[in-house]
Amino acid sequence: MTLDARVAALVDGRAAAPDGDPLGARLDHYCGLVLAGAFWDAYHQMRADKSLAPEDKKQIINAVNAGYLFQRQLEWGNHGVRRSFRFWSDPQKSKYVERALEIADLLKREITPHVSFGFGSVLGMIRDHDFIPHDDDMDLIIALPANEGASFGATLARLRQLLGEEGFVAPESKNISHLTTARKGFAGTDIFIGFIDPDERVSWFPSARGGLAMPDVFPTQTLRFFGGDCPIPRNPIKYLEVTYGPDWRTPIPNWNHPWDSRAYREFL
């Protein structure tokens, strides 16, 4: 029985026939959680599941997406089960860009002149000329001097104070180098903190450390995107090659960054 057939059976309320397939049994478990609305549990259990290889996880997620979630304008992606951009209208995207630019302008005024869109936002702008279909939020990157005592924690606290004073919500989280913020009732925008090393290299966790020179990113250039004048890295191709590798032009759902926090230990 294929994974797609198992999802169809579970959605219809039919028990999937046991066939001794361990992968099928794991799909039954995760699909059952999703059908019960336990999206958070499914997402976190999958991330911690050491019995499944990365490719097996992708197969299960793809089957659950195609057989159930897509029909509900939801998608299981890197951030959990959310309403991904493939289901957004152009007016909704334009309003989101407007809101993200409001945040970018605030950061430029109050925190640092070095503010740009980054990560998946730039990947979508350059590769797809659109939002990445399987993504669900926009990313801003900021860069600060790596002075003595500079840390992610202190900068996050400063950002949360500023954002709160300006009417934004920025919940506490376990993320060590970024936060998510929005005005109440709107989709969130991620802000990633980067530090400029004395050798003029700049990095943002969870990317690898030291892959970009400051002139690769700042000063930014401007790209018109869904009605907004968006700051993007000065050399977006170099930025994408360093951040996503030489195959960045090929869409890869559930792609993962290095996540090596040891390279950033002096900022922890």
Cα–Cα distance for residue pair 16/25, rounded to 1 Å: 9
CATH number for the domain harbouring residue 113: 3.30.460
Same domain, 36 and 140: no
Same domain, 36 and 149: no
Q: Which whole number is the average pLDDT over 230-257?
A: 91
Same domain, 196 and 254: yes
Same domain, 172 and 240: yes
pLDDT band at 19 (very low <50, low <70, confident <90, very high): low
- pLDDT exceeds cutoff 90 at 18: no
Cα–Cα distance for residue pair 102/121, rounded to 1 Å: 16
Domain stop point among 31, 56, 82: 82
Same domain, 142 and 244: yes
Q: Which whole number is the average pLDDT over 230-245?
A: 97
Domain stop point among 62, 82, 102: 82
Domain stop point among 53, 82, 111: 82
pLDDT at 140 (0 to 100): 99
Count of structural domains, the chain: 2
Q: What is the pTM of this model?
A: 0.91
Q: Which whole number is the average pLDDT over 171-180?
A: 94
Same domain, 133 and 257: yes
pLDDT digits (tens, 9 = 90+) for 210-235: 999 999 999 999 999 999 999 999 99
Same domain, 72 and 115: no
Cα–Cα distance for residue pair 160/184, rounded to 1 Å: 14
Same domain, 71 and 102: no
Q: Which residues span the domain enclosing 248?
A: 87-264
pLDDT digits (tens, 9 = 90+) for 46-96: 999 999 999 999 999 999 999 999 999 999 998 999 999 999 999 999 999
What 8-state DSSP symbol labels residue 256? -
